[in-house]
Amino acid sequence: MSELDGLKLLRLIEEGVAGKTGEAFFRQIVCDLSRALHAHGAFTSRLLPNRRARMLAFWVGGQYETCLEYALEGTPCEYVYRGEITAYARNVGEVFPVDRAWFEQLGVQSYLGIPVKDETGAVYGHLAVMDTCERDWADADIDVLRLFSLRSAAEIERARYQRELEDANAALRQVNERLGAEIASRAQAESELAAAKAVAESANRAKSVFISQMSHELRTPLNGVLGFAQLLKRGQGDSPERLREGLDIIERSGEHLLNLVNDLLDLAKIEAGKLELSPSQVDLRELLEHVTSLARVRAAKVGVTLMMILEAQDFVPVMADERILRQVLLNLLGNAVKFTEAGGRVTLRASGHSTPMGRQAVTFVVEDTGIGIDESELQRIFEPFHRLASPDRVVEGTGLGLTITQRLVDALAGRLSVTSRKGVGSTFTVECELDAAPQRQGAAFAAADIEGYEGLMRIVLVADDDRDNRALVTQLLQSLGFLVQAAGNGQEALERLNTIRPDLVLTDLVMPILDGQQLLRSIRADGKLARVPVVAMSASASAVTRAEALQAGCAAFLPKPLKLTDMLQIIGDQLGLKWRYRAAPARNTHDDDAAPALRDFRLPPDLAAELQHLAMQGDILALTARVDAALANDTAARPFCRELRALAARYDVRGIRQILVASGG
């Protein structure tokens, strides 16, 4: 074939396969090859492992046929795959008996095959033409075949490059994706780190600010105390008025310091995570009435009306830490009264409903018509020591109340929010979800109104190494008509048990010499005493202590500080008592029946000062004993005594100080 013919043929081949790749390319090649050589058919195949081949395209008798896969052995193709051009002019079926039937079926006589090699010279596949006539294949035929073979090799190379390119692209894409993911996760880690750092820095800053504010707040009243003490010491000849004024300032500063220290201790306890919740059954109505009556005393003193509105018909008894709920409500009510002018109004609203999960969603709203808070200050009032200056009035306070309240609400997993308008009033809202209390048998239990029980006198043995607690429980039970024997440890209790047979034993768990658990074991081991119920008391109110005590055989568990309601409920249940109640005035949501008596009551100044002193020292027993001695026969003092006893039973020193202040102490 001349060079020109070769070029022409090449152009023809190119025109045929233009834009075709893969299968379409090879189909075009076999068709064009067959036509170029005026042959009956042509096919191209690819070498497979194990000396097999597979057709890529097969053109015969003017049409495409199904591609076959076949073993090379004993076929003319086998020679081609050795890398040689193989030509048979006639009787190809005779020469290769393996393929005879196939050649005969096609009517093929002659065969010309050429290997297709890749760029390394390795045989990749082959091209073959076949004819039905005897045909002595000319050099020109072989040239044509060679051109087709070269073109096929080029396509194979191109396909390989394309595959490699696609593989490389896919790998690149994967690497890119990995890189992208790594960058994203690093960016996230960095932003988390930055956020944590910002939080740590701001906590650090807040701590420093807090410490410097605290030292300022503590020093200010201390300066007052020390300064006036020195002045008084030097100026012995001063007038009695000056003396009195100086002492007043020292007293006020001391009281302010005491409040500060109490608040700081509360806050420190909460911040140190020591605020262990001790949930017990709470009657919300009773709690709300109690805090309202306490706050009302103070409100009445400054001419503010205080109302309680229960927006729920009946509150389901809930399980909650009553001490925390009470402190939250008292703090908010205290503020509302403090920041409301005479003639104004404070309202405590409460509502509740059951949630789909069977809990109680409770909302308390403390609303006042007071001085209000500027919008810009609303969030800052929850910060420690943040108090808003008001030029026209000086209001006592530490600036820690709302900080503590906020932390307490957090501990209840609740939400505290505020809305306010300057000059119009403020609304503080507490929302929380509480567990409903397990249903108890019988009617509502009003412990504060119990004055005794029906039937024979019962004997209770009280074992507690804490002298004050022992005396408190003893006095309480004695006042209800029990015969009480007291013991300072388990050993003493066992000695008492030699002479008396109590109906019930109330024992502290941690005691010297013989502890509560050992006492319980000895009681259980004694046949005569085995049926006596033993109730455990412990300052460790954790669920573990409770479970251990019950497992060891205690009939019930009472966390300290003891709650009168719980204690009497348990004693009543264990002894099957029928309580006798004091004739109590009917309770009404809006009424003021109980409150005016409490509100109108004024302590004699000397007694007030004495009681305030005992409260400051935390000597609750001496305080209740003093109140009993001084006011036992004073009917006007009854609500006051009842309130004080209830607070004493809970060791609620803060509450006691509040009621003393409200009653003139």
Residues 109, 369, 426, 569: which binds ligand ADP (CB under 6 A)? 426
The single residue among 25, 137, 339, 364 that binds ligand ADP, judged by CB under 6 A, is 339
Q: Is there binding between residue 398 and ligand ADP (CB under 6 A)?
A: yes
Q: Is 397 in the site for ligand ADP (CB under 6 A)?
A: yes
Question: Among 279, 401, 414, 639, which residue sits at the site for ligand ADP (rule: CB under 6 A)?
Answer: 401
Q: Does 221 bind ligand ADP (CB under 6 A)?
A: no
Name the residue nearer to ligand ADP (CB basis): 405 or 474: 405
CB closer to ligand ADP out of 341 and 593: 341
Say if residue 554 is exposed, middle or buried (CB neighbours under 10 Å; 0-12, 13-18, 19+). Answer: buried
Tell me if 460 sits within 8 A of 483, measured CB to CB: yes
335 binds ligand ADP (CB under 6 A): yes
Q: Identify which of residues 39 and 348 has a Cβ nearer to ligand ADP in the complex.
A: 348
Closest to ligand ADP by CB, 77 or 365: 365
Stretch binding ligand ADP (CB under 6 A), from 33-41, 168-176, 305-313, 400-408: 400-408
If one asks whether residue 387 binds ligand ADP (CB under 6 A), the answer comes out as: yes
Q: DSSP for 163-214, please give it.
A: HHHHHHHHHHHHHHHHHHHHHHHHHHHHHHHHHHHHHHHHHHHHHHHHHHHH
Nearer to ligand ADP, 282 or 337 (CB): 337
Q: Is 373 in the site for ligand ADP (CB under 6 A)?
A: yes
Length of the chain, please?
A: 665
Instruction: Identify how many contiguous H helices and E strands the chain contains and give both numbers.
Output: 20, 21
Question: Position of tokens 């003139």?
Answer: 664
Taking the C-alpha atoms of residue 215 and residue 211, their distance in angstroms, rounded to an integer, is 6
How big is the CA angle at 35 (ends 29 and 38), to the nearest 5 degrees? 140
* Site membership for ligand ADP, residue 402 (CB under 6 A): yes
Q: How many Cβ atoms are within 10 Å of 611's Cβ, its own excluded?
A: 24
CA pair distance 226, 209, nearest whole angstrom: 25
DSSP states along 315-346: PPPEEE-HHHHHHHHHHHHHHHHHTS-TT-EE
Give the C-alpha separation, 44 to 68, whole Å: 11
Dihedral angle at the C-alpha atoms of 526, 529, 530, 532, nearest 10 degrees? -150
Q: What DSSP element (H or E) covers 37?
A: none
User: In the bound complex, what is the minimum distance in angstroms from residue 260's beta carbon to ligand ADP?
Assistant: 10
Instruction: Kindly state whether residue 370 participates in binding ligand ADP, applying the rule CB under 6 A.
Output: yes
If the CB atoms of residues 335 and 574 are measured against ligand ADP, the closer one turns out to be: 335
Compute CA distances 111 → 35, 41, 325, whole Å. Answer: 15, 10, 103
- Count of other CB atoms within 10 angstroms of residue 452: 14
Closest CA relative to residue 127, chosen from 77, 70, 64, 61: 77
The nearer residue to ligand ADP, 260 or 511, going by C-beta atoms, is: 260
Only one of the segments 51-59, 180-188, 220-228, 395-403 lies at the binding site for ligand ADP (rule: CB under 6 A); that segment is 395-403
Beta bridge partners of 557: 536
The single residue among 399, 488, 561, 664 that binds ligand ADP, judged by CB under 6 A, is 399
Interaction between residue 388 and ligand ADP (CB under 6 A): yes
- How far apart CA 324 and CA 310 sit, in angstroms, is 20
Give the residue with the Cβ less far from ligand ADP, 335 or 565: 335
User: Which range in 205-213, 398-406, 520-528, 535-543 contacts ligand ADP by CB under 6 A?
Assistant: 398-406
User: Does residue 336 belong to the site contacting ligand ADP (CB under 6 A)?
Assistant: yes
The secondary structure of the chain in percent helix, strand, coil, rounded to multiples of 5, reads: 50, 20, 30
Minimum distance, C-beta of residue 346 to ligand ADP, in the bound complex (Å): 8
Q: Rule CB under 6 A: is residue 301 a binding residue for ligand ADP?
A: no
Q: Is the dihedral of CA 136, 140, 145, 149 positive or negative?
A: positive
381 sits near ligand ADP (criterion: CB under 6 A)? yes
Q: In the complex with ligand ADP, which residue's Cβ is closer, 404 or 523?
A: 404
364 binds ligand ADP (CB under 6 A): no
Report if residue 257 touches ligand ADP, rule: CB under 6 A: no
Please report, as ranges, the residues that interact with ligand ADP according to CB under 6 A: 335-336, 339, 368, 370-373, 381, 386-388, 397-403, 426
